[in-house]
Structure 1
Amino acid sequence: MNSFRVVAVAAVLSAASVSAFADAAESLRAFVKDVKSGQSTFTQTVTSPDGAKKKVSSGSFSFARPNRFRFDYAKPYAQTIVSDGQKVWFHDPDLNQVTVRKMGDALGSTPVALLTGSSIEKTFDLKAQPDQGGLEWVMATPKDSGGTIQWLKAGFRGKGLVAVEIADSFGQRSLLTFDKLATDVALAPEAFRFAVPPGADVSEQ
């Protein structure tokens, strides 16, 4: 699954600023603890290590705790990623190929684990960051340093999650922004089930 982006740290912080930073960490904890489901459209921008190349994609996203989610990429190419909480299906319609992976192998310390998991601080160390772009930010660093994700940042406006930013071990940055993420919405169980299309080439890992 594609990865998510960057922040500059101020040299001197006022007491009011420190309080605001703490609020971002608390907002993330509250999001994981209290928000049971959500859906939104999204835009994802992936930036190359040298910052010269950017790849933009968009689509829709929904989730229901624990660990059920669906990404439907629409542009520039269609792709679907679905989890029922046990397995994750990756479907490329153009090639009619489906890859199936076990939940733990597919997620680990990923942005989806951050958004849909049930116990964030077992997997990540949290550290509040300076405000940027009108958002309050918190950094989540995976406790397992053996993965490909270096860190993730979640950006909040008030209690609302607006963006997730990621840096991977290859130097790539990715920014996922949500368009008015609706929370605690009623989602049909069928939304997180995947039916393999007729004739698809299926690979289970």
Structure 2
Amino acid sequence: MASVKCWLLHQWKTDSNMIKTLFTLAALGLGLVIAPVHADQSATDQLSGQLQTLQQLQGRFSQTQYAEQSEQAVSTSTGRFRLLKPSYFAWEIETPDSQLIIADGEYLWHHDRDLETVTRRPVAGTDDMSPLQVLAGDSSLLGEKFEVSVTGKGRFRLEPTAGNPGFKELTLIFAADQIGGMEILDNLNQRLFIEFSEVDDQSSQAPADFRFVPPEDADLFYHEQ
């Protein structure tokens, strides 16, 4: 199985490295040149304004994981994603393996189709904001959770100021007022670069679209936290 971690939704406590690093660092193929940082309240306001316009999204993603201080890719994967505010998200890995991470408003599900396992955890019970929760959650809380800096045109760097979200830095990248990708640096200094494509913010979605029913032949693992 590919080895990428998943910080997307939250620190997913599973042995699957692929899922745990999903959102450890996302720089996508838009370049890694960091411009001078300007940190002030206006950066938080700008980012909050950008995120408030993203009420629903769907599209494709391509992600590449890099080891600490290395430009050699450890793993890559591609797939589709869907988002509906305030608390719904689906992240489906299509290659090289087949996995689904979905938040239905109450639970966070992880379906590993290759291993035929389903893991479920409650969404509530933490004040931390994972990278996916930054996109899909309440953008008015950004100033309470992160120090936000503008690092270049359309680039916002978020550094956690409280809690334990599982990453050191998160960079959101916008192009023409649309989300283009994410950059995440995890606590082990591993990097994940994610690029979004075919992004659609017009097609209607509903909470029912994020309902997940475990397959009858899957092994189920339910956790209370």
1:137-192 CA-partner distances (Å, limit 9, x unpaired): 11011222533210100111121110110000111101111103211430143321
The aligned length equals 194
Of structures 1 and 2, the larger Rg is shown by 1
Tell me the distance in 1 between the aligned counterparts of 2:206 and 2:129.
27
Tell me the distance in 2 between the aligned counterparts of 1:65 and 1:147.
20
Q: Which runs of 5+ in 1 are unaligned?
A: none
Report the TM-score, using the length of structure 1 for normalisation.
Answer: 0.83
C-alpha RMSD of the superposition: 2.6
- Matched-pair identity in %: 24
Secondary structure (helix, strand or coil) at the match of 2:158 reads strand
Q: Which runs of 5+ in 2 are unaligned?
A: 1-5, 7-21
What one-letter code is carried by the residue in structure 2 that aligns with 1:77? D
Q: Are 1:130 and 2:152 matched, yes or no?
A: yes
Q: Are 1:112 and 2:132 matched, yes or no?
A: yes
Report the TM-score, using the length of structure 2 for normalisation.
Answer: 0.77
Query: Structure 2 matches for 1:1-205, cutoff 5 A?
Result: 1=6, 2-3=22-23, 4-5=25-26, 7-10=32-35, 27-51=46-70, 52-104=72-124, 108-119=128-139, 120-121=141-142, 122-131=144-153, 136-205=154-223
What one-letter code is carried by the residue in structure 2 that aligns with 1:147? P
Higher strand share: 1
- Kept in 2, the 8 Å contact 1:86–1:102? The answer is yes
1:9-38 CA-partner distances (Å, limit 9, x unpaired): 446x9xxxx7xx999755531232232111
- Kept in 2, the 8 Å contact 1:24–1:137? The answer is no
Tell me the equivalent position of 2:17: none
Tell me the distance in 2 between the aligned counterparts of 1:148 and 1:49.
16
- Kept in 1, the 8 Å contact 2:157–2:171? The answer is yes
Displacement after TM superposition at 1:203 (Å): 0.9
Displacement after TM superposition at 1:198 (Å): 0.8
Secondary structure (helix, strand or coil) at the match of 1:59 reads strand
